[in-house]
Structure 1
Amino acid sequence: MERIDTLEEEIAELRNTLLAKEKELIRLKKKWADSQRKHIDPVNDLPFKMNFNHSTKLRGKLPKWAIERYSRQILLPEIGIQGQERICASRVAVVGVGGLGCPAAAYLAAAGIGDIVLVDHDRVAVSNLHRQILHTEEDLDTNKSMSATESLRKINSRINITPYHRTLTTENVMGLVARCNVVLDCSDNVATRYLLGDACALAKTVLVSGSALKMEGQLTVYSYRAENNKNEKDLSYRGPCYRCVFPTPPPLEAVGSCSANGVAGPVPGMIGCLQAMEALKVVMGYPYEKLMVGRMLIFDAEDMSFRTVKLRPRNPECRSCSTTDNFMELMDYDNFCSEQKREEEFELKLLPDEQRISAQDLAIFLNQHQRQMGYEKRKKRKDKNTHPLLVDVRSAEEYKMCSIDGSVNYPINELSGEKLESLLEMVRARNNDVIFMCRRGNDSQIAATTVIDAVGAQHIGKVKELRGGLHEWARHVDHYFPVY
C-alpha cells in the first residue's frame, strides 16, 4: 500500500511538471509568433501611394481605426459618435473576474472602454471553466486577473487593461474606485459588497451590481448621482446606495455560494452581459429613468422569465451616502458581516478528537471490516449491524455525482422529523461505528452533533466524523474520487 501511494504521488508530480512545460511551450510559441507578425498601419503603410485632390474630414475625435472597429454600435442613434467617444475615454473597474466578471469584461473590452481594471486575488480552478469564459485549461492555477487580461488583449489590443492581483481592503479600495467612472461588483461575498458599496458612495462613483446563484440572477445600480450627468433634468436626484437597500448583512445561513449550491453557467453569463450594458449606458450619460437605479432586475432561467422589482428609496440618514454628521468611514467588513474565512479555508471544530477519524485511518478501518465480512460470508453470517455505517450528508445531487461505496445518503438540510428518526434508529441498531461525512468536514460535524444530542448517551461513542471530508479522502486515499 505504501509503495502504491508513493508511485501515485510521483506520477502526480510528473503530470504537474509536464503541464507546466506544456504551458511554457505554448507561451514561447505565442511570443515567437507575435515577434514575427508584421503590424501594418492602414494609413501610413499602404502598398502604393495615391494622389488625393481632396482630404477626408473625420467628424468628432475618433480616429479612422476606431470608426471602422466600432461602426456597428456608432450607427445606433442611442450611441452615436459622441457616445463612442465617451466609451473610449472612460475607465471601468471589474471587481471579481469570475462567472459575472468574465462576460462583463469581455463585452466592455469589445465595446472599446478605454481603460479596464480587473480585480481578483483568486486562481483559476477546473470547476470555474464551465462559466468563467475568459479562462481556459491552459490557465489552470494561474491568477484570474492575469488570465483574463491576456484574453481581453486578444479581443481588443487598442485599450488599456490593468490586472490587480490582490484582495480589496479599506486601505486600497478608495484609490481604485475614485479613479473610475463606473465600478462593476462581480464579487461573491457579502463583505466585499459592503466594502464596494460604501467606497463608491464615498467616492460618488456609480456601482453596477450583479449576482447569480443556482438558476437565478439579479442586477441593479447603486450610488447614482444626477449631478454627475449633464443629460439629467433634475440634478438633485440621487439613487440609493447598497447600504440604503441592505442596512444590515443577512445571516450567514442565508448566504449561498456557487461552490456549495451550484450555478448554471449561462446565468452569470446573462447577468454579466447586462452589467456591461448598464455600465456602457452610464458612461454614455443615460438618465436614471433608463438605468436600473432604484430597481432590481431578477432573471429566472428555469422558466426564462424577467421581472423588475422596486427597491427601497435612498435613505437621507444613510450612514454611507448621507451628507449629515451621521456619515461613517470605511470599517472592518469581515467583522461587520460576521463573515468567516472562505469556504475552502474554514473548518468547524465541534467534535472532540476521539470522535473524528482521518481519511487514512478510515481506509484502514474499512479494509479490516471488509476482510471480516469475507470471513463472515464464508461462515454464512449475515448480521450487517456489526459493520460500520457510512452516512453521507451532502445533497442528493452531490451524492449522485460520486460517493464511497456502501454509504447511505441523509442530506443535512433534510435531517429532521421522520428522516432524523430513521437515522437515529439505524445508529441505535448498530454495534459498530457510524461515520458521518460531507465534502469538507463541516456539515458532517453539524449532522453528527445533531445525532449525538438525540440518540441517547449509550450510543454517543459510536458516532464519528471524517475529518476534512471527502476532499481529504480524495487527497490521501482515492485519487480517482472527484474534487469539486
Structure 2
Amino acid sequence: MERLCTLENEIKELRQKLKEKEDEMSKIRRELFGAQGDFRAWIPGQDQLETSFTDAGTVQCGTLPKWAIERYSRQILLKDIGVHGQMKICQAKVLIVGAGGLGCPSAMYLAAAGVGEIGIIDYDVVEITNIHRQVLHFEQDENVSKAESAASTLRSINSRIKVTPYNLQLDSKNAMDIASQYDVILDCTDNVPTRYMLSDLSCFIKKPLISGSALKMEGQLTIYGYRSESHKDDKGSSYQGPCYRCVFPTPPSPDVVGSCSAHGVAGPVPGVIGILQAMEALKIILDMSPDKLLVERMLIFDAEDMTTRTVRLRKRNPSCATCSDNPTVTQLVDYEAYCSAPANDKKKHEARLRTERRIEEKIKRMTGQSYFGFRTHKEGTQKKWIQDVQKSERRLGPSCNSDFCARSNRRYCKKLTDMDRMEIFQKFWKLEWVEKKNYVRSLIDLVPVKRRRICLKNVQCRKVDSKVYNLFFNSEKVEVCRVTFLNTLGIKEAMVRCWLAQKPMKKTVKNRFKSQNLIDYIDKLPIIDSKCPICLDSGSSVKYVDLNVKNQFHLYKIYVNDTLSKNLKPASRKTFSKVLSVKNLRIFKPKNERDVCDLVQEHNDSRNYNFNDDFYHNDLSLKILPQENRITASQVFELMGKGSPLVIDVRAGPEYQMCHVLNTDNRPIDGLRGSNLDQLVGQVEESRDPVIFICRRGNDSQIAAKLVLDRLPEVHRSKVKDMTGGLHAWAAQVDNNFPVY
C-alpha cells in the first residue's frame, strides 16, 4: 500500500511537470512563430500567405497553408465548406457556457474542425460522477477546474487554435463583457435562470444562441436569437428568429424542472446533442440559410426508441420583452429572483444535502435513535430554522409508583415487570411510523365525560372525553395508567395527542382509464405472425401490426387522432411504447421481397450474397490505359521545366482551390461530357505539346484520359498522358511540401 501511494504521488508530480512543459512550449511557439500559432492570422488578401512555391516555382496552395489543407481536407472537400468556408471556420470565435455533458462534445468537435478561438465557461470542478458523459475530463482531473481541464484537452486535440478558459460563474455583471468578444454562443447549461440570461444576452449583443438540453433518455436542440443580414424573410426584411422569451414568456415552476444529478442521464444522450450543437455552430459560421438551421424548430431526440422528430416553434413575438422593436427588458437582471430558482448547481446541491440530512434525521427520529432537532434563529426580521439540537434516543421510562395503581384491581401497572415492559418497548419501535400511529390509536379508548365542569370565568371546560390507556400483555389488552403507558412505549403525551387528532389519509387510486383505453385500442389492431420461417421454427412469439405504417411514431399519431376524435384523452407516447413492448408487438415495413425479418439480418435472402470490400469499393489502382500513355511525376516536372505542356487537373473545384500545380487548367471530371468534352478533344488535337491529366491519386485522371482517347484520331493519341500516382506521387517525387490529403 505504501508503494502504491508513492507511485500515485510520483505520477501526480510528473503530470504537473508535463503540464508546465506544455505551457512553456506553447509560449515559446507563440514567441517564435508569432501568428503561425494562430490560424486567424491567415487573412485572405495577404499575398505572402496565399502562395507557397517550390524551388522551381510550380506549386500554389491558395489561401490555406499546407498544414491546414492536410488537417482539414476531409471537410474542405465538401461543397458546403470548401476553402472559403474553412477560412470562415478558422477565423470564427465560439463561446461555450458549461463544460459538462453538452459542452465537452461540442467543444471537442469545434476544436477538431479548426474554430479559431473557443472560450469555455464553468465555475465547477471535475467530480467522478461527471466522467461517464463529460468526455474532456479524465480520472486524474478530479477536483480540477472544469474550464481548465477542458481547455487543456482541447489544446492537445488542436494546438493551432486559441482556447480561453473562464473559471467563474457567469452572471449579469460579467456576461456582457465576455460574450461580446465572440461570434456564436452555445448554451450547454442545465438551469432555467442561465437560459433566460443567455437568451437576453444574445438579443442585446445580436449573436445567435444554440441551446441544447439532455435529461434521462431525451435531448432537445434549437437556436434562439438568430439574425441574418444576408438572408431575408417573406417580407424582404432581414431574417430574425425567436428568442427564448418568445417561446417561453414566463419561467416554469422550480418544482417541475429536472436535473441530471436528481433524475440521471444516459451518457451518450448529451453527447449526441452536444455534437449537433457543434454542427449547428459550424452551419451558422458558414452562413447557411435559416431553413437549413434549427431556427423556429426544435429537434427532439429520444434514445429509448431511437427516434428523432422536429417540432415547429412559435415565431418571433413582435411584442416580446427582449427582442421586439420596443423592448421592456433592456439590460441583464437578477435571473435567480426572476425564475425563483438558483442558477448555481452548487446551491441546489447544498439544498439537496440539507434535504437528505433532514430525511436522515427524520428516519432516526422515527426509529427511536438519537437525532438532531430544529431550533429557530432570528436574523433581523426573518426567522431561520437550524437543525443542530441534539435529541436523546428513546429509552424505557421508570415504572409507575402510584398507590392508586397498586390498590386498583383493574390496572396492571404493578403486574408488569421490567422485562415485560422492555419487550413491549422493543416491539413498538420496530414498527413502521404509520404502524406506530395505528398501534397507539388502538390502545387508547376515548370515554365521554359524564359532566363538563364550569371554569373560573364561567366558561364550560373544553374537555369532551377521557382517555383510558391499555397495553398488550400476554396477547390481551390490559388497562394501565397514563404514566405506565407513556414510559413503556417511550413517547410523550404531546405526540399521543397529535396522533389521536389526525385521521389516517385515504389512499387515492390511480385512474387507469387512459391505459385501459390504449390496451383496448391495441387489441383491436390487425396482427400477423412473422413471415420469417427461421424465426417461426425457433418458436419466436413476436407479432407484427398489419397496417401500412412507417414506424411506431406513425402508429402513435394515428392512435392520438383516433382517440381525440372520440373526445378521449390519449395515453403518452412512452406508455404507448411500453404497451407494445409488453404485448411483444413490432412494426416492420419490408424494403423489398427478400426483406422478411427485422430481428436477425442474416435471416433475409441477402445472406446468400457475399458483400466483400470489392463489392463496395473500386480498385484504387486503376490500370485502364496502356503504358505508352502513362508518365511519372518526375517526368512531368522535367517537361514543365523545358516547355509549357497542357496540364489538366480533373479534381473538383474545392480541391483545386485548396492546392494545385501552377499553370494547370482545372477541368472537373464530372463536367467532362457533351460540349465540354468536345472542346477538350479539340484542344488536344490543336496542341503541339503533350497533354497531361492529373488528379489526387491517379484514378480519375485515367478515366478522363480514356474519355479523350476514345474520341481522338490515332495520330493524336500519343499526346495524351496520365500522371501515375497523381498528386500524391508529385508530393513524394517532386515537392515534399505539397499537401497530401
TM-score by length of 1: 0.69
Structure 1 match to 2:17: 28
User: How far 1:343 sits from its partner (Å)?
Assistant: 1.6
1:457 aligned onto 2:462: no
Say if 1:226 and 1:235, in contact at 8 Å, map to a contact too.
no
Whole-angstrom CA distance in 1 between matches of 2:67 and 2:129: 39
Say if 2:123 and 2:147, in contact at 8 Å, map to a contact too.
yes
Whole-angstrom CA distance in 1 between matches of 2:256 and 2:194: 17
Whole-angstrom CA distance in 2 between matches of 1:177 and 1:171: 12
1:117-170 alpha-carbon deviations (Å, 9 max, x no partner): 000000111111110000011000110000000111110000000000101111
Structure 2 match to 1:343: 348
1:217-239 alpha-carbon deviations (Å, 9 max, x no partner): 00000111122x46989552210
Q: Which amino acid aligns with 2:156?
A: K
In structure 2, the CA distance between the partners of 1:17 and 1:132, relative to structure 1 (3 Å rule), is farther
User: How far 1:430 sits from its partner (Å)?
Assistant: 7.6
- 5 Å-filtered alignment, 1:60-459, equals 60=63, 62-227=64-229, 229=230, 234-324=236-326, 326-340=328-342, 342-346=347-351, 347=354, 361=370, 385-388=427-430, 424-425=434-435, 427-429=437-439, 457-458=498-499
User: How far 1:178 sits from its partner (Å)?
Assistant: 1.8
Question: Which of 50, 53, 56 is 2:56 aligned to?
Answer: 53
Secondary structure at the aligned position of 1:167 is classed as coil
In structure 2, the CA distance between the partners of 1:331 and 1:17, relative to structure 1 (3 Å rule), is farther
In structure 2, the CA distance between the partners of 1:65 and 1:326, relative to structure 1 (3 Å rule), is same
Whole-angstrom CA distance in 1 between matches of 2:438 and 2:294: 57
User: How far 1:27 sits from its partner (Å)?
Assistant: 2.2
Secondary structure at the aligned position of 1:344 is classed as helix
User: How far 1:24 sits from its partner (Å)?
Assistant: 2.8
Whole-angstrom CA distance in 2 between matches of 1:349 and 1:53: 76
In structure 2, the CA distance between the partners of 1:250 and 1:29, relative to structure 1 (3 Å rule), is same
Whole-angstrom CA distance in 1 between matches of 2:335 and 2:23: 44
Structure 2 match to 1:434: none
Secondary structure at the aligned position of 1:328 is classed as coil
In structure 2, the CA distance between the partners of 1:226 and 1:329, relative to structure 1 (3 Å rule), is same
Q: Which amino acid aligns with 1:344?
A: H
User: How far 1:28 sits from its partner (Å)?
Assistant: 1.7
Whole-angstrom CA distance in 1 between matches of 2:209 and 2:80: 22
Whole-angstrom CA distance in 1 between matches of 2:500 and 2:264: 36
Secondary structure at the aligned position of 1:212 is classed as strand
Calculate the aligned-residue CA RMSD, in Å: 4.3
In structure 2, the CA distance between the partners of 1:189 and 1:325, relative to structure 1 (3 Å rule), is closer
Secondary structure at the aligned position of 1:326 is classed as coil
Whole-angstrom CA distance in 2 between matches of 1:297 and 1:120: 25
Say if 2:428 and 2:436, in contact at 8 Å, map to a contact too.
no
In structure 2, the CA distance between the partners of 1:129 and 1:220, relative to structure 1 (3 Å rule), is same
Q: Which amino acid aligns with 1:195?
A: M
In structure 2, the CA distance between the partners of 1:21 and 1:247, relative to structure 1 (3 Å rule), is farther
1:91-123 alpha-carbon deviations (Å, 9 max, x no partner): 000000000000000000000000000000001
In structure 2, the CA distance between the partners of 1:305 and 1:189, relative to structure 1 (3 Å rule), is same
Q: Which amino acid aligns with 1:429?
A: Y
In structure 2, the CA distance between the partners of 1:382 and 1:111, relative to structure 1 (3 Å rule), is farther
Whole-angstrom CA distance in 1 between matches of 2:113 and 2:327: 41
Whole-angstrom CA distance in 2 between matches of 1:261 and 1:385: 37
User: How far 1:64 sits from its partner (Å)?
Assistant: 1.2
Indicate the structure (1 or 2) with the bigger Cα radius of gyration.
2
In structure 2, the CA distance between the partners of 1:219 and 1:20, relative to structure 1 (3 Å rule), is farther
Secondary structure at the aligned position of 1:226 is classed as strand
Structure 2 match to 1:400: none
Whole-angstrom CA distance in 1 between matches of 2:22 and 2:312: 53
Q: How many residues align?
A: 379
Unaligned runs of 5+ in 1: 1-10, 45-49, 370-375, 391-422, 432-454, 462-484
In structure 2, the CA distance between the partners of 1:72 and 1:367, relative to structure 1 (3 Å rule), is farther
Say if 2:231 and 2:238, in contact at 8 Å, map to a contact too.
no
In structure 2, the CA distance between the partners of 1:202 and 1:84, relative to structure 1 (3 Å rule), is same
Say if 1:87 and 1:284, in contact at 8 Å, map to a contact too.
yes
In structure 2, the CA distance between the partners of 1:366 and 1:280, relative to structure 1 (3 Å rule), is farther
In structure 2, the CA distance between the partners of 1:426 and 1:218, relative to structure 1 (3 Å rule), is farther
In structure 2, the CA distance between the partners of 1:241 and 1:136, relative to structure 1 (3 Å rule), is same
Q: Which amino acid aligns with 1:53?
A: A
Say if 2:147 and 2:165, in contact at 8 Å, map to a contact too.
yes
Q: Which amino acid aligns with 1:148?
A: A
Structure 2 match to 1:395: none
Whole-angstrom CA distance in 1 between matches of 2:93 and 2:19: 29
Say if 1:119 and 1:145, in contact at 8 Å, map to a contact too.
yes
Whole-angstrom CA distance in 2 between matches of 1:389 and 1:138: 47
